[in-house]
Homo-oligomer: A and B are copies of this chain.
Amino acid sequence: MYSYHYPHPAVTVDCAVFGLDEARPASSGEDARRDDDRHGTTPGNLTVLLIQRDLEPYAGAWALPGGFVKIDEDLEAAALRELGEETGVRDLYLEQLGAFGAPDRDPRERVITVAYLAIVNLFDHPVAAATDARNAGWFGVDDLPALAFDHERIVAAGLEQLRATVRDEPIVFEFLPQEFTLRQVQSLYEAILGESLDKRNFRKKLHATSLIVPLDEVEMDVAHRAAQLHRFDRERYEALRAEGYRWNA
């Protein structure tokens, strides 16, 4: 038992992990109705990683991965640890979202949680396997089940921060595999911002940054002209940002 002169809240971390559910390049058919006036975009869907709780409270409900912070553990380390334990996801982009601490957000005791925004690419981390007994899975952000605690609010805050961050930092590339097509980048922006973008203008802006380098390869196994592959020039980006760089896409 651990005793204190004053009551102490418990502190947890929770991770809103976003990924991109890429429409598989090969399967062109499936439910391809309203294709008439689409501006030529195959949208990927933005998804969130959830786990199914097997303990009370909210046993059986879906929730963000997370858990209690150890007493000598850094907050970010705790977030990474819990995420790894519960979903097997490691090596990802992480950014603090903020603290959520409404007095009644957990029925057991006062629990203050520090939420993190995380981004993975589903290519390096294909459909996360839960190393834990619980179920884990990806859900489209527009199609979430009811969530435990105040996790819906945390997801909403995560989405908002994602949208805000995407406007001045090229974090989108955290979603993508090392080699990607410009089409994928555009679909990703469209999925995050929730609006469709002009293909030519988008590519113009992308190229203007000089952060995207074309490779001598093209995508494969597509039923149409293959797209050029590109990679993100991380070194150049680091160099530019060191001297105060603004992205603004």
Q: State the A residues within 8 Å of B (CB).
A: 1-11, 68-69, 71-75, 96, 98-99, 101-103, 110, 112, 114
Specify the chain B residue showing the minimal Cβ separation from A110.
B71
**Copies of this protein chain in the complex:** 2
B112 touches A75 (CB 8 A): yes
Specify the chain B residue showing the minimal Cβ separation from A168.
B164
Which residues of chain B have C-beta atoms less than 8 A from A11's C-beta?
8-9, 11, 101, 112
With A8-B10, A114-B112 as contacts: A69 and B2 at CB distance below 8 Å: no
A4 touches B1 (CB 8 A): yes
Which residues of chain B have C-beta atoms less than 8 A from A110's C-beta?
71-72
With A96-B99, A101-B74 as contacts: A5 and B1 at CB distance below 8 Å: yes
B2 touches A8 (CB 8 A): yes
Specify the chain B residue showing the minimal Cβ separation from A77.
B103
Distance to closest chain B CB from A194 (angstroms): 12
Report Cα–Cα, A9/B5, bound state, in Å: 12
Report Cα–Cα, A178/B61, bound state, in Å: 50
B101 touches A98 (CB 8 A): no
Partner of A101, one of B1, B4, B69, B103: B69
Which residues of chain B have C-beta atoms less than 8 A from A6's C-beta?
2, 10, 68, 71
